[in-house]
Amino acid sequence: MPVISAPHSFNEGELFVDLESIFGCRLYLKCEGFNFAGSIKLKAANEMVESAERDGSLTPDSILVESSSGNLGVALSMIAASKGHRFLCVTDPRCNLSTKLLMEALGSQVHVVTDLDTNGGFLGTRLEYVRALCASDERYVWLSQYTNAGNWRAHYRTTAPEIAGQFPRLDVLFLGTGTAGTLMGCARYFRQWHRPVRIVAVDSVGSVAFGGKPGRRMIPGLGMSMRPPLLDDSYVDEVIRVEEADTIRTCHRLARRGFLFGGSTGTVVSAASDWLARHDRNDLTAVAVAPDLGERYLDTIYQTNWLQDLYGEHLLDSARLDTASWDEESAARTPGPHERP
């Protein structure tokens, strides 16, 4: 049993769930939510904070500031509280209430922007606020998860080797894309591995991370209203975009089997099960990464009124969650334009 003195010292990295009995395909889900921050963002947060401490940009007088839709904000709040730093998270109305309350409980300040940017999202507005804040007071230190190499290095050093250690015959890896930190860290690692691994990036419909038109996105986590500066398309073999309705149905299908995951996980699993159904290869070893658990989404994707108001009352009809209906929908979908042979 581990004994720790700092909350970021514990992070379970070797837990995988076999989803074959739920989705009818050989898919292993790497669970990243079992740490005190509750998500995969603890890895990037820890790497970026320690790097800033080492290079001297983060001092006892500094005030950490970061733009986050939720999970990174919680991770930085936890680390800041542990290390005695002050932290201000700049977020937007899509941030789950429980996430905002968590950050405040950990002693952080939370600022919510409400104006949309030119792409119809909030990211541009959040970044403008952070830049203005840093220009107004030199004590503010912006780690910038969108451009900080520590974001992808964290997953190159931890997430990817954890997957490789459990699945030495890995064939295909499904990774959600937000800042592209997890995607790029794992993709760079497996590009140098002893066998080829197909890297499938998963994005939300309405995100412009890989191009296309911006659209409404109500679930925080995956997707961007700009191209992620860390993204290098040359490491990506294929892109799959998932409708939020499919994300929600996947989350509820998992919950009906006792697994309560977050929205990003629903998106990635929806894409992965679709891809595997279309390729019909039982000999493939496939892994998807689950960024977080579902407790922070109880007032959104697991809340009936919220779902009905945004997506209609028939979204979760039982017939749409059973296996036959699921296979029918998966077969009808088409891959994104980035697919490579």
108, 84 Cβ separation under 8 angstroms = no
Q: Is the pLDDT of residue 324 over 50?
A: no
Tell me whether strands 172-176 and 198-204 are parallel, antiparallel or unpaired: parallel
- At residue 123, the pLDDT reads 87
pLDDT tens track for 242-253: 999 999 999 999
CA distances from 155 to 32, 42, 82, 268, 317 (A): 12, 11, 22, 17, 38
pLDDT band, residue 332 (cuts 50/70/90): very low
Whole-number average pLDDT of the chain: 91
Q: Is the pLDDT of residue 319 over 60?
A: no
- At residue 81, the pLDDT reads 97
Residue type, 4: I
Q: Is the pLDDT of residue 205 over 70?
A: yes
What percentage of the chain reaches a pLDDT higher than 90?
A: 80
- At residue 331, the pLDDT reads 42
CA dihedral (201, 250, 91, 61) in degrees, to 10, reads -70
pLDDT band, residue 321 (cuts 50/70/90): low
CA-closest candidate to residue 288, choices 157, 189, 177 = 177
d(CA 36, CA 42): 8
Tell me whether strands 109-112 and 140-142 are parallel, antiparallel or unpaired: unpaired
Q: Is the pLDDT of residue 330 over 60?
A: no
d(CA 242, CA 263): 11
Q: In what order do the strands lie in the sheet with 63-67?
A: 109-112, 86-91, 63-67, 140-142
CA angle 249, 250, 254 (to 5 degrees): 115
Q: What is residue 87's DSSP assignment? A: E
- At residue 13, the pLDDT reads 93
